[in-house]
Amino acid sequence: MEKIIDEKKQGESLVTEQKKQNTRKLYIESYGCQMNFSDSEIVASILANEGFNTTQTLEEADLVLVNTCSIREKAELTVRKRLEKFNAVKRINPNMKVGVLGCMAERLKNKFLEEEKIVDMVVGPDAYKDLPNLVREIDEGRNAVNVILSKEETYGDVAPVRLNSNGVSAFVSITRGCDNMCTFCVVPFTRGRERSRNPQSILEEVNDLWEKGFKEITLLGQNVDSYLWYGGGLKKDFDKASEMQKATSVNFAGLLAMVAIAHPKMRIRFSTSNPQDMTLDVIETMSKHNNICKYIHLPIQSGSNRILKEMNRLHTREEYFELIDNIRKIIPDCAISQDMITGFPTETEQDHRDTLSLMEYVKYDFGFMFAYSERPGTLAARKMKDDVPQEVKKRRLTEIINLQQQHGLYRTRQHLGKIEEVLIEGNSKKSNRHWMGRNTQNTVVVFPKENYKVGDFVNVKITDCTAATLIGEAVGYSENN
Ligand code: SAH
Ligand code: F3S
């Protein structure tokens, strides 16, 4: 054990030494999902070994990387706009190189180089270990592209460099890719097939975060409930695994319990869950361990069985209600949030009313709601006409956002008068005399600072609320502190 610690210390001092010697500057910007932000930390780590330290100042960068999102057209347009800005900076600093990472890189491949002259390098989400070679290529004046998707890559052996970290909470990725093939979604095409990361390397990363003073981790995956480690390889090849591999495999409930037991004073969150893959086992594991936060992000996309089928969501509205009922039975105070899409092809007013009535049933704590955006190459784009007029999509979106607002307020009001444990993350957005943190349900709580500090677990009495925020006063440290 001592030897391992020694080696690790040595490793760390090597990294620090390396950072001191690094002379080139990397500016990295991330868009889209949490996984992209987590990936950028992996990229920063790989490039730290290649002589790059990160900078927050675009103008002084030698290498500018933008980690992109393709989920909706708007996300792609945002990136194109940023490239215009980078172009303006490049006119002043012609030696600056620009690379595009992530889902847009994977979707557009070589086409990116033709469409955006400023881009020198295109790298897909599974090719980051090739960055040292790709950077050498662009250093020598050639364009560089690697968009090969992998069956194994999980970056389990890369220790992320924490970027823009509050030192309190961190992302730990546990699965990559998605096999679900929802017909509207571009992710299976840009992030490839589902594979899980070795639980040992996950635990090591969490141990390291704990030693560095982090208090909360979020286990990340496109579909965390489908986590399955059987020695490596694609989830879909599990059937071909040996009996031994099957017998010693670890599923998501197993992984959650493992992490929760290893670090009883650390808060554990996870995202995202898919209704069809979430098991009772996971819900029971959550209720057994106090440090697993009582919050589930459980996207459904639509309340209409017909639309769910067209979306290939592989579960019905009734099955979803059963899952919600089970969650409420096993964890009565669990918060639940949603993702919804309005205006999927063929959606009628009746389908839309089904979505509203589903929301009435669940009364989500919060939600992320979007108008359908057709993505090239997806099954919906190939087989269905994007036939709901923009103004109808928008009107339906406004209706579900308004309803969510009412439900948010209904949920936050349930916290009034209670004393809840809050982990302090930083200054409140509105006032630097107040701290901002979250309760176990992931609801933001704001309260006067007094003598508490970032990273403290504090008991807060909730005295007021809005639809999304709880307001209160600290009554002392919690026993977790
Ligand atoms: N499982 C993933 C889902 C990623 S996409 C996760 O880890 O969160 C996030 C959300 O974007 C989806 O749940 C869906 O509501 C929305 N979305 C995906 N594709 C979309 C599209 N083509 N148009 C509009 N919204 C979309
Ligand atoms: Fe996308 Fe559906 Fe997977 S929304 S990420 S294909 S679960």
Atom of ligand 2 lying closest to residue 223 CA: 7
* Ranges of CATH 3.40.50.12160 domains, the chain: 14-146
Ligand-binding annotation for 185, yes or no, is: yes
The secondary structure element, H or E, covering residue 260 is helix 252-262
Of the candidate CATH numbers 3.30.43.10, 3.40.50.12160, 3.30.300.30, 3.90.1720.10, the domain formed by 14-146 belongs to: 3.40.50.12160
- DSSP result, 63-104: EEEEEE--SSHHHHHHHHHHHHHHHHHHHH-TT-EEEEEEHH
| 35 touches 220 (CB < 8 A) | yes
Does 465 count as an annotated binding residue?
no
Please tell me whether 103 is known to bind a ligand: yes
* Res. 142: pLDDT tops 60: yes
- For residues 3-16, average pLDDT: 49
178 in a known ligand binding site: yes
Mean per-residue pLDDT, 102-124 = 96
Of the pLDDT bands very low, low, confident and very high (cuts 50, 70, 90), residue 55 is: very high
Would you place residue 4 in the very low, low, confident or very high pLDDT band (cuts 50, 70, 90)?
A: very low
What per-residue confidence (pLDDT) applies to 17?
Answer: 60
Whether 364 and 336 have beta carbons less than 8 Å apart is answered as yes
3-state SS record for 361-404: HHCCCEEEEEECCCCCCCHHHHHCCCCCCHHHHHHHHHHHHHHH
Q: Would you give the DSSP letter of residue 163?
A: P
CATH topology of domain 165-293: Transcription Regulator spoIIAA (3.30.750)
Write down how long the chain is: 481
Pick from 72, 187, 340 the residue to mutate for probing ligand 2's pocket: most ligand atoms within 8 Å of its CB.
187
Angle (CA) 394-399-405 rounded to 5° is: 125
Q: What is the pLDDT of residues 183-236, one digit of tens each?
A: 999 999 999 999 999 999 999 999 999 999 999 999 999 999 999 999 998 999
**Is 272 close to ligand 1, i.e. is its CB under 6 Å away?**
yes
**C-alpha to C-alpha distance for 48 and 126, rounded to whole angstroms:** 18
Residues 25-39: b if buried by 16+ CB within 10 A, e if exposed = bbbbebbbbebbbbb
Pocket test for ligand 1, best of 74, 107, 185, 276 (most atoms within 8 A of CB): 185
- The span from the CA of 147 to the CA of 321, in Å, is 40
372 lines ligand 1 (CB under 6 A): yes
SS3 at position 410: helix
Fold of 318-414: Transcription Regulator spoIIAA (3.30.750)
Counting atoms of ligand 1 from 1, which one is nearest the CA of 339? 15
CA–CA separation, 331 and 32 (whole Å): 30
Give the model's pLDDT for residue 8.
46
pLDDT in tens, 368-389: 999 999 999 999 999 999 999 9
Fold adopted by 419-477? OB fold (Dihydrolipoamide Acetyltransferase, E2P) (2.40.50)
- What's the pLDDT score for residue 481? 85
Establish whether 293 is an annotated binding residue: no
Taking CA atoms only, the protein residue closest to ligand 1 atom 2 is: 222
- Cα 17 from Cα 5, distance rounded (Å): 18
- At residue 178, the 3 state secondary structure works out as coil
Confidence band of 12 (pLDDT split at 50, 70, 90): low
The helix (H) or strand (E) run that includes residue 12 is: helix 2-21
Instruction: Cite the residue boundaries of each domain of the chain with CATH code 3.30.750.200.
Output: 318-414
User: Does 182 carry a binding-site annotation?
Assistant: yes
Residue 341 in contact with ligand 1 by CB distance below 6 A: yes
Between CA 54 and CA 165 the distance in angstroms is 13
- DSSP notation for 430-472: S-TTEEEEE-TT--EEEEE-TT--TT-EEEEEEEEE-SSEEEE
Query: Distance from the CA of 431 to the center of ligand 2, in angstroms?
Result: 38
Residue extent(s) of CATH 2.40.50.140 domains in the chain: 419-477
Q: Which two tokens stand for residue 86?
A: 């980078």
Asked if residue 116 has pLDDT above 90, the reply is yes
CB-ligand 2 contact for 334 (6 Å cutoff): no
Place 5 in a pLDDT band, splitting at 50, 70 and 90: very low
pLDDT at 1 (0 to 100): 39
187 lines ligand 2 (CB under 6 A): yes
- Give the model's confidence band at 14: pLDDT under 50 very low, under 70 low, under 90 confident, else very high: low
pLDDT tens per residue across span 427-465: 999 999 999 999 999 999 999 999 999 999 999 999 999
> Can you give the pLDDT at residue 22?
84
**pLDDT tens, residue by residue, 245-301:** 999 999 999 999 999 999 999 999 999 999 999 999 999 999 999 999 999 999 999
